[in-house]
Amino acid sequence: MLRPMLLLPTVAIVLSASAQEYTATVKTTVDRPESATWKKWSDKECAINYPTKWTNEGTMGSGALAVFFAPQDAASGFRERVHLARVEVDGRTPEQIRKSMESDDELGVTDMRDLASSAEGDKVTMEFTGTFDGQPVRVKRALIVRNDKAWVLSYLAAPDHFEEKLYLADAMLQSFETK
């Protein structure tokens, strides 16, 4: 009878010591799989990758370098898109350029309301809501200044569909590179 009583504290000590050795690992999955191969768009100054199912519809007369569209979604009536443009730096800091874009938005978004913004080195990110062609939109924008040039990458979506393809837009923004 003495033997089981001695074993219990020993087991408790072993379990306690071994529990401290484990670390938690978080795994995430994408619930909407995309093709593993993405397309690449580039010009003489920059390049960006975009999902295979998205289309590059050129500049669309907007002064953009390129506009990439998600596939048509009949439910939302608005096609999510990533707009790539370049603006003149003219000796301004990224924060000064961001402030000037608040009053003169190259996307054609009106009634802009700032949700969040942050600055880190040569990059400023912003999120805002507004109206585009009479429809409410939510926008995530990255402004990157490199080699005396400023690049503006903007993701536009209907507010209720913004989160749905944000992971793709973020991957596109992260793939952006200058030459």
Which CATH number belongs to the domain containing residue 98 in this structure? 3.40.1000.10
Mean pLDDT of 153-177: 92
With respect to residue 6, please indicate whether it lies within any of the assigned structural domains: no
Q: At 103, is the secondary structure helix, strand, or coil? A: helix
Stated pTM of the model:
0.73
Distance set, CA 66 to CA 35, 48, 99 (Å): 21, 10, 23
Q: What's the pLDDT score for residue 24?
A: 54
Count of residues making up the chain:
179
* Displacement of CA 175 from its chain's centroid (Å): 10
With respect to residue 5, please indicate whether it lies within any of the assigned structural domains: no
Mean pLDDT of 157-175: 92
Domain total in the chain:
1
* Tokens 């952006």 found at: 176
Round to whole Å and give the CA distance between 156 and 79.
Answer: 8
Q: What's the pLDDT score for residue 148?
A: 82
With respect to residue 137, please indicate whether it lies within any of the assigned structural domains: yes
With respect to residue 24, please indicate whether it lies within any of the assigned structural domains: no
Q: Is the pLDDT of residue 13 over 50?
A: no
With respect to residue 21, please indicate whether it lies within any of the assigned structural domains: no
Other Cβ atoms less than 10 A from the Cβ of 52: the count is 11
With respect to residue 173, please indicate whether it lies within any of the assigned structural domains: yes
| Contacts (Cβ under 8 Å, ≥6 apart) of 129 | 112, 113, 115, 136, 137, 138, 139, 159
With respect to residue 27, please indicate whether it lies within any of the assigned structural domains: no
Round to whole Å and give the CA distance between 82 and 5.
Answer: 67
Biggest alpha carbon–alpha carbon distance for the chain: 88
Higher pLDDT, 29 or 123: 123
Q: Which residues pair with 84 in a beta bridge?
A: 66, 153
Residue 66 belongs to what domain range?
35-178
Q: What's the pLDDT score for residue 37?
A: 79
Six-digit token string for 12: 């408790």
With respect to residue 19, please indicate whether it lies within any of the assigned structural domains: no
Eight-class DSSP state of 20? T
Answer for the pair 90, 112: CB distance below 8 angstroms, yes or no.
Answer: no
